[in-house]
Structure 1
């Protein structure tokens, strides 16, 4: 807990300089600490601890934690209290499975459209991914942004608005955003980034041939590889026991 004391001293809230309420300000600081791993998944969040740390009342902390609960970042356990939402390996796997089906469908539809402008955008994206993957200094989040952009191109080009909406809704789930996307878990190593760039090249190659079924399978394979990387990085087997 000492590392948290030092963290929150550096992130002290300046009361009176924000338009947001005090609980909202506290919630923002707690959320940032969760995102940066200072407060870990599954960790209990005691009201008295944070009331003392932020020099506010326990009711303020209680309201701040309620804000985190509404965002899905924290959960209240009967006779236990509030804790940071723990990784749920099964839920993450299910999200990957659903996303793979949706991305696969989008890739099939785009392949069958034979749209040169979309293909050009995707090929440009693959070139960017390969360049980033070949640079050992690339930050995972920078690679992730291009990969996400590629996914959005496919979704938008599919021509099915509902498909795009469903895919984005899955991406906005708190568990996915804070455990996977914002930490770029899938792309932490250069080896993994190179694999991803190769997977994307395969997807775009199949789209260029107009082979819808092959494009669909390639897109599903891309997300399956991403899931395996996440599974290994997060050590699901250990996290699920917390």
Structure 2
């Protein structure tokens, strides 16, 4: 396993700008030798600015969007029309503004009566793409909550320990809703994982995740350790304020 790379930027805007350049270069490099690039998007507030940057010049022209295949890391089981729906946010800030073929965008469906069926369908799509391959996503975008969660892997939940399923669903009591999420099993097959973390409210969790003792029940982001890929953390100074050296 390769040690993660840490990039400390001045502020949240710098993180978004740096991430946009990094992602674009990664896509360009991969497409020189392959005909597609698979990318899983993150929910939450941090990626919004990144999406806005990628949807404008020069990135909108630099990236061959026709070869991009989009997935999600997790989803709130809310209607697509709900502003808290991760796919809705991504369409509003990025996907409606670039030319990705509709059949290459794979949302986690929230219009089915049973979230378990939705997660089973999504897992089937993942197997169609990645069965028999050493690595999964070319790029997995992640955020981290101030409680140390990533994806929908929340502290104290059983899903943190899932080792067989690639995608699953469960009811999150503290939010009174179902969540669909990728598991560490498929996440850790990614060729590249990019964490974006900003804000002083993330500082203590970031310190524990990167420099504290391993305790995945308290800090689930610690389970993200790619088998053959690389991990990059792009954080602002506020989030990095508790890190040692």
Q: Report the TM-score when normalising by structure 2.
A: 0.27
Which protein is richer in strand relative to its size?
2
